[in-house]
Structure 1
């Protein structure tokens, strides 16, 4: 004869009520409040830069009204910002091309070939990321002086390419490892050589990685101030960051010109991120998952 033991009423846990609107509101505030504070902290400096850039000189208004472009005319024409902009664009594009091509060749070799010291080489490249650029100024300056590249834009291109290569190699190598080697082998069976198979099969799949590597190289070279300040000493070869520093006088600061120059300097970076955002996320995630 079996007996059924009834659970006491106190031991029975009451059913949880379904979350109502108040709970949903609390969860939404918990998400949106930190984001709003972060956006406020991030966007306020940009807002003040726009206010100083577009409002007339001597005005203390919190809004850029009436809007004027006198500050941009002063920066572009009087301070020679058009020349600085052109120099930065040349250095950025050259660094982009050099970094992408070298990282593409080296990343393919790291992903597809096995050789002695490969792991030590990868560790060495990772360790170079912990070395600040300021520590390399004197050796680089001596090298460029010996090669006759001081006060040349090519010195900036070489320095930027060297400092961007380790991370670029790792990203592209990790991305290529995610591409099945059987795709290349099928191309070899069809009569393609290694180079032709790479160009026909692998290279089209590397678009997100190439965009990520190229964008990082361009943006880093565009924003770099230290190398341009140390390796170039003629005003005709200054880049945008060094040109911006010349709006700071010894006893006064032209805030309108400085803000206008900052807006002009930020436009290319904003445009690059706007157009490559989806490729950038794909390239970073695919290159960092495996390998």
Structure 2
């Protein structure tokens, strides 16, 4: 039998809850910023005008693409898809779309892989002509693509690559490599070398340490560089026009050019073709915008 004294000594006394001194301090008023005093209409009115100015061209394209031929209505009703059917079947936009996808994906893969190797060398190794090489990469961005047509046409002619999608893929990759290599080198510089050194101590080779440690951290940068290369090759008109003479091998930008003639322009077909060309790019950017912004901001920290 337990006595009352022993029960009292066995009882556990809980400590009083501690209160931080900050809890008793009065809440400081939020610091007013400059735009807090600006009336709301002065913010939303310019934004609304800019949004209206931006969306009207898109609505106009949809209007011409979805309303019947010869209609002057400002509302696409009754709605028709005859323009899309016409450009996809009669104007061979299905083949143009397939060629553009092939060129875009091949350019994305080749640009990313080659720029990844070159960017790692620029970020992790020191050599005598490194600064001169970086300067040459930067200066190459000021060279317009039109100046490269004659030498590239001569080279591809000797290699028998004219009228082949391979010529466009190689030209787009070469054109995208300098900027992509600089961006990826900046991404790799943001990854501490100590992470790779720890992997080397554990017995990893340089390549295995790069694949296991550095490469997963470069995902935003790789997505940014790859998407930039894809979109540029998707929209580029000049190389595909000059190196591809076979209509079955042409890409979407060249296909859009075929919808315009010296005498007349089919606005409905041109609007439908423009929507077909724009939708894949919009979908891609809608899914990768988070990684794209992160990648470009990370690559701009160091240089």
Same fold (TM over 0.5): yes
| CA distance in 2: counterparts of 1:25 and 1:247, whole angstroms | 53
Structure 1 residue 264, shift from structure 2 partner: 0.4
| CA distance in 1: counterparts of 2:82 and 2:69, whole angstroms | 9
| CA distance in 2: counterparts of 1:27 and 1:177, whole angstroms | 44
Structure 1 residue 139, shift from structure 2 partner: 1.1
Q: Does 1:95 align with 2:102?
A: no
Q: Which residue of 1 aligns with 2:6?
A: none
| CA distance in 2: counterparts of 1:190 and 1:269, whole angstroms | 43
Structure 1 residue 216, shift from structure 2 partner: 0.5
| CA distance in 2: counterparts of 1:275 and 1:171, whole angstroms | 21
Q: Which residue of 2 aligns with 1:284?
A: 296
| Superimposed CA distance per residue, residues 78-109 of structure 1 (whole angstroms, 9 cap, x where no aligned partner) | 10100000000000000000000000000001
Q: Which residue of 2 aligns with 1:12?
A: none
Structure 2: gaps spanning 5 or more residues = 1-30
Q: Does 1:222 align with 2:222?
A: no
Q: Does 1:265 align with 2:267?
A: no
| CA distance in 2: counterparts of 1:35 and 1:239, whole angstroms | 36
Q: Does 1:157 align with 2:157?
A: no
Q: Report how many aligned residue pairs link the two structures.
A: 271
Q: Which residue of 2 aligns with 1:52?
A: 64
| CA distance in 2: counterparts of 1:265 and 1:115, whole angstroms | 44
Cα RMSD after superposing both structures: 1.5
Larger radius of gyration: 2
Structure 1 residue 276, shift from structure 2 partner: 0.7
**Cα 1:33/1:130, change in 2 over 3 Å:** farther
| CA distance in 1: counterparts of 2:259 and 2:295, whole angstroms | 38
Q: Does 1:210 align with 2:222?
A: yes
Q: 1:104 aligns with which of 108, 111, 116?
A: 116
Question: Mapping of 1:136-285 within 5 angstroms?
Answer: 136-285=148-297
Q: Does 1:43 align with 2:25?
A: no
| CA distance in 2: counterparts of 1:30 and 1:243, whole angstroms | 44
Q: TM-score, normalised by structure 1?
A: 0.90
Q: Which residue of 2 aligns with 1:74?
A: 86
| CA distance in 1: counterparts of 2:109 and 2:59, whole angstroms | 34
Structure 1: gaps spanning 5 or more residues = 1-17
Q: Does 1:113 align with 2:118?
A: no
Structure 1 residue 25, shift from structure 2 partner: 7.6
